[in-house]
Structure 1
Amino acid sequence: MASNLQIVVSFLVCGMAMVDAISHSDSIRSGNFSAVAAGHGVCRSVVEPQGYSCSEHKVTTKDGYILSMQRLASMSGSRSRKPVLLQHGLFMDGMTWFLLPPGQNLAFLLADNGYDVWIIHGPVSKGYLVNKLTSVTLLCPIAYMHHMSSLLMRGSIDLFFAEKFLEKMCKLPFAGCNSLMTALSGKNCCLKPSAMDSFLENEPQPTSTKNLLHLSQMVRRGTIAMYDYDNEDKNVKRYGQPTPPVYDMTQIPKDLPLYLTYGSTDAITSAKDVQILLRSLKDHMGGKLVSQFVDNYAHADYVMADNAREKVYEPLLGFLKMYN
């Protein structure tokens, strides 16, 4: 296997990474890693019909979570470059990367460019990748959320109804899922109808109540901090202090290549909040922090727009090749 890994991460609805030497002998936080039968999983139903090599795996983390993963390569079977981990966002799963057709979605484009592509379903345990990353690409990254303008997203997070609400409303003939998607994520410029159909068939996915509570706290308080138990004794027991610690962006290695891309009409990832994030990374090593501002792009465009390849994925591939 290649010696380093890159990661692309999709936040909320849309991210990616390159990682150091991952192999079958590696583990997630010393957990168990093993191949599983393909069955009717993503490989058999989505990847292999397009002529790509694919294998299904499962990961049992040290804290007991069982995550599914897929590994795919180009139709030639070549994996000459570094491994790439595709991490979906909240309310989504690994199908995020296949909403667009072959030749347009990020997973197949990476495989076609020779990358060893790994798709994960579920969260990565903290601390697993920090010493293995060679670069990180963030699509419409959510960190600070104080300027989130989507009232629908704010309400759904606070009331914990996003998953069922979207599922039911999109199926009503008078509602129109495109209009609902606009209310949720901002005015998307270029959603591909077939990608929207795939979204309705596979998404959204459930998440934990604690995840939603945590998001709600950060939206309401304008902070990027660990989960607040709203009880000083519980916070002290968990963190050793009465209030939850703030995530320290300066702890991100200053020489780690970072690529952030965000859109002008995104109602979830506000450009103002991304600017706050970029300011927190102001001491990052010159040339190692790249940001891309995409005019007229909203949150869903990053995985469902008919021009996502030209607007986002090709510049992203250029960034990865620069640090490959």
Structure 2
Amino acid sequence: MVFKIIFVVLCVMNFSKSAIPDSDKSVTRLIEDYGYLVESHNIVTKDGYILEIHRIPGIRGENIKNKKNVVLLMHGLLGSSADWVLTGPNRSLAFLLAENGYDVWLGNNRGNTFGKNHKSYLSTSFGFWDFSWHELGIYDLPATIDYILKTTKIRNLNYVCFSQGCTQFLVMGSLMPEYNKKIRFTAALAPASALKNIKGVMTLASPFISFSKILVENLGYFELIPSSSLLRIFTNYVCRENSGLQNFCYLLIFNIVGNGLEEIDRVQFPDVFSYFPAGCSWKQVIHYISDTKEYFGQYNYGLMKNLRLYNSTIPPEYPLKNVNVPIAIFHGPNDYLVPPQDVAILEKKLPNVVGRFFVTERKLNHLDFMFGRNIRHLVYNRVVQIINLFKID
């Protein structure tokens, strides 16, 4: 029953108007209003997608203390660059890094609010949405890194990723190992790879998602849950503090990301939905839920197409042994999407894990790593301490 309710809500949100009244200017204005410098940059990927990314080059009135120390933050599935700043100066990792003298860049992937343009396709066409997180790893992330390194005139940067942002990093590092030299250190927050042990409603949704692959392969892929006015109206009414339906709102969320009343900010959390979710392709969800149960591999198109594309009946596994970047992993006990068992599997396959931090002070769920009330104390301060070890003096 819970899944049916969630599915109806998602369908209504998905087919609502996808233009977001809070435009990119709202994000930049948000950063400016908090007292930080901000820039917008456009990147074109090799396959034609145009991505807008954001930069926080310092605190207003101050220059960057050391321009050689650059950090790129990459959002998760359905997220955007806004996720790193919307919680404000007292909680945001982006602002914490800026306060510590870092040149902070906030990435965006194709298909989200800031990645809806293409040199040839309109975002209303099926061709635009024919991508999974594999393409984010081999196109979007390399293009973003190359642009930042060229702009800042440095050889490598630090990387902080959340969930899917870590997935695309693993894809890139596996298949394009030359990019491992361009990253000094990676902090992985709830990194998603093979989802063997997911819990909650997504396990119930798995058969439907697998079946949908047959349909979309023939009919075309589509956008999932773009930011919309209808979504904000719904969440403002249902999720606001003192709403009689607020607990229903949390029930929907917790059935997907994991239980976690401890870290919910009941006052601020409805404001998150001004920017999140920010849209993605349904193909990204299929790739996670339908294709990564057994191992962390490329998209499964079926027997005949796999033979054409991969010269194999099954998709090739990503060679994680190639990802030799020093990496620290942070994860929590109540994460339904990236449970501890899957993190342990990932750790064993990576050759250079410098630390795995299982945060037990609070029962963190998946979204707590972005929006939790105490996440700066629980995780972000330690992230900055470790990144400082990789600073260029």
TM-score (norm 2): 0.65
Report Cα offsets for 1:19-69 as digits up to 9, x if no partner: xxxxxxxxxxxxxxxxxxx972522x2111111111111101111011011
Matched, 1:306 2:373: yes
Matches within 5 A, 1:149-228: 149-152=199-202, 155=205, 158=209, 163=225, 167=231, 170=235, 171-172=237-238, 174=245, 176-188=248-260, 189-219=262-292, 221-228=293-300
Residue 133 (structure 1) shift: 0.8
**Match of 1:46, as an amino acid?**
L
2:169 matched to which residue of 1? Answer: none
Distance (whole Å) between structure 2 residues aligned to residue 46 and residue 99 of structure 1: 8
Distance (whole Å) between structure 2 residues aligned to residue 164 and residue 78 of structure 1: 35
Change (3 A) 1:153 1:72: farther
Distance (whole Å) between structure 2 residues aligned to residue 99 and residue 53 of structure 1: 15
1:293 matched to which residue of 2? Answer: 358
1:24 matched to which residue of 2? Answer: none
Matched, 1:243 2:314: yes
1:140 matched to which residue of 2? Answer: 190
Distance (whole Å) between structure 2 residues aligned to residue 68 and residue 110 of structure 1: 21
Structure 1 window deviating more from structure 2 (173-182 vs 50-59): it is 173-182
Residues matched between the structures, number? 278
Instruction: Tell whether the 8 Å contact from 1:153 to 1:184 is kept in structure 2 after alignment.
Output: no
1:48 matched to which residue of 2? Answer: 32
Structure 1 window deviating more from structure 2 (258-267 vs 167-176): it is 167-176
Question: Going by fraction, where is helix more abundant, 1 or 2?
Answer: 2
Distance (whole Å) between structure 2 residues aligned to residue 153 and residue 77 of structure 1: 49
Distance (whole Å) between structure 2 residues aligned to residue 101 and residue 153 of structure 1: 34
Residue 181 (structure 1) shift: 1.9
Change (3 A) 1:125 1:266: closer
Report Cα offsets for 1:94-129 as digits up to 9, x if no partner: 111123121210111111111111111115451725
Alpha carbon RMSD of aligned pairs, Å?
A: 2.7
Structure 2: runs of 5+ lacking an equivalent: 1-22, 111-135, 146-178, 213-221, 239-243
**Match of 1:293, as an amino acid?**
F
Identity %: 26
Distance (whole Å) between structure 2 residues aligned to residue 194 and residue 313 of structure 1: 22
Q: Counterpart of 2:138 in 1: which secondary structure?
A: coil
Distance (whole Å) between structure 1 residues aligned to residue 43 and residue 30 of structure 2: 21
Residue 318 (structure 1) shift: 0.8
1:259 matched to which residue of 2? Answer: 328
TM-score (norm 1): 0.78
Structure 1 window deviating more from structure 2 (137-146 vs 73-82): it is 73-82
Matches within 5 A, 1:12-31: none
Change (3 A) 1:162 1:320: same
Distance (whole Å) between structure 1 residues aligned to residue 32 and residue 300 of structure 2: 44
Q: Counterpart of 1:46 in 2: which secondary structure?
A: helix
2:386 matched to which residue of 1? Answer: 319
Change (3 A) 1:214 1:96: same
Instruction: Tell whether the 8 Å contact from 2:34 to 2:88 is kept in structure 1 after alignment.
Output: no
1:88 matched to which residue of 2? Answer: 75
Matched, 1:268 2:337: yes
Matched, 1:64 2:48: yes
